[in-house]
Amino acid sequence: MKNSKSNKNGPKGNIRIIAGKHRGRKLPVVMAEGLRPTTDRVKETVFNWLMPYISASECLDCFAGSGGLGFEAYSRGASTVTLIELNKAAAKQLQQNKDLLSADNVIIENTNALDYLTKSDRKFSVVFLDPPFRKGLLKETSHLLNARALEPDALIYVEMESETDTHELPENWHLLKEKIAGQVAYRLYQNT
């Protein structure tokens, strides 16, 4: 990630949309504590996995951070994309990027993912679940998603520490694809 000038919220960097109607577009991101933007290489793999499903999907990014996954889904034709981000500076940057792209079908929620899932009655067909590492959020978030927010046959992309016990995830999530790179595991599940 390329750094540029700093501000009170920390240095800024960029993410790049790799395909779709905004292909090659760079978007600024605030580098907040714990923010781990998904690399272009991983994004390319994930969206190759999701290619047949992303168009016209209802997407949710539970821990949006830089918005890299959500804006990529938007660029590739998702019907709606909801980005949940607790960090105020990161959420403000997501809103600015939404405005830059004139992305009327992108919804930014500056809130806690668990609170959002508890209160919302929306259902999603594609979900990105990439919680901050070593905070214990994966199990609770995945079970809340499973109980309240998934369409039948929904696809769930999970980015987690490679040592994470996958038995923490809902039993009805069927593993479709998996890659492990060092300390990070990338997995695609289907709600069955």
Q: What is the pLDDT of residues 19-66, one digit of tens each?
A: 999 999 999 998 776 667 778 888 999 999 999 999 999 999 999 999
Per-residue pLDDT at 37: 74
Angle at 20 between CA 54 and CA 189, to 5 degrees: 25
Distance, CA of 187 to chain centre: 13
Question: Domains in the chain, ordered, with CATH?
Answer: 34-191 (3.40.50.150)
Mean pLDDT for the stretch of residues 108-116? 97
pLDDT, the chain, mean: 90
Hey, how many other C-beta atoms are within 10 angstroms of the C-beta on 41?
10
Q: What is the pLDDT of residues 60-76, one digit of tens each?
A: 999 999 999 999 999 99
Per-residue pLDDT at 38: 78
Per-residue pLDDT at 34: 64
Whether the predicted pLDDT of 176 surpasses 60: yes
